[in-house]
Amino acid sequence: MNFLSIIQTLESLLLEFILLLIFLPKTLFRVLIHPGWISDYLNQELARKEADRFNDYSSPMAMFLFLGAIPIFIFFASPSGETISIPFIQGSNTYQLSMSEYFVFTSLLMLIGPLYMSLVNLFLRKLPFNKTNLRRIILMQAYVWTVPYFAYMCGSIIGIIACGDAFLCFAIEETLSVTLLGLLWLLVAEVILFKTELGKTTLHSAFIVIPVMIFYFVLFFLTGNFIEASLR
């Protein structure tokens, strides 16, 4: 690869990064105010050639990574790499972890929700278990799960600004309110998506989603406790 090719590659990467910064807020706003849009939009985009997809909004995975996973991973990782704060595990402040261990545990916790709801959606719709069906549903869940993770991140920042530690101050009104608002939005968004996907009424979808989400939170905290116990 010659020098000119390197320059052209860097220019392309810089342009993509700038476009990402522009379209991420637009996509987040669209998802926030109209979660029912997600299903039709993905159907429209996945019907196109891969090179032509997601021209008007950021892709689900880009949004999930840059507004959810990567900020949380960087924010809670210690610069020294010796003492790591584990997000989502209440009461667990710091542990001696390598960065690779921290990455695995954080990724596991963040992926449980989207994967769980994707499998529930696939099962309830009685679709064949294949890559095509699963890919679409996972992309749909990536959009909606970015919002509560982003809210958690914002709540943690508020906690740190307020008293210097997001975990010790997790129960302060501002931090808890932002996080709970994100979770409430997630519940409403899932009801809307299940209503669209299953062709049910809003009430019927709510009766499906609420027990499913309750089971998820039980699973989530059990996983968190298991990780906490394994670190001791």
Q: Residue 213's CB: how many other CB atoms inside 10 A? A: 19
| Separation CA 148–CA 186 (nearest Å) | 7
pLDDT of residue 197: 92
pLDDT of residue 156: 77
* Nearest by Cα to 105 from 80, 82, 73, 138: 73
Residue 21's domain comprises: 3-231
pLDDT of residue 205: 94
pLDDT of residue 163: 67
| Separation CA 180–CA 51 (nearest Å) | 38
How many domains does one find in the chain? 1
pLDDT of residue 232: 59
The per-residue pLDDT string of the chain (232 residues; one tens digit each, 9 = 90 and over) reads 577 778 878 888 888 889 889 999 999 999 999 999 999 999 999 999 988 899 999 999 999 999 988 888 777 665 444 445 555 454 444 455 666 666 777 777 788 899 999 999 999 999 999 998 999 999 999 999 999 999 988 887 777 776 655 555 555 666 778 888 999 999 999 999 999 999 889 999 999 999 999 998 888 777 766 666 665 5
pLDDT of residue 171: 53
The answer to whether the beta carbons of residues 174 and 158 sit under 8 Å apart is yes
pLDDT of residue 62: 94
- Written as six digits, the tokens of 88 are 């989502």
pLDDT of residue 114: 93
pLDDT of residue 224: 64
| Separation CA 32–CA 186 (nearest Å) | 10
Q: What is the 3-state secondary structure of the chain? A: CCHHHHHHHHHHHHHHHHHHHHHHHHHHHHHHHCCCHHHHHHHHHHCCCHHHCCCCCCCHHHHHHHHHHHHHHHHHCCCCCCEECCCCCCCCCCEECCHHHHHHHHHHHHHHHHHHHHHHHHHHCCCCCCHHHHHHHHHHHHHHHHHHHHHHHHHHHHHHHHHCCCCCCCCCHHHHHHHHHHHHHHHHHHHHHHHHHHCCCHHHHHHHHHHHHHHHHHHHHHHHHHHHHHHC
pLDDT of residue 124: 92
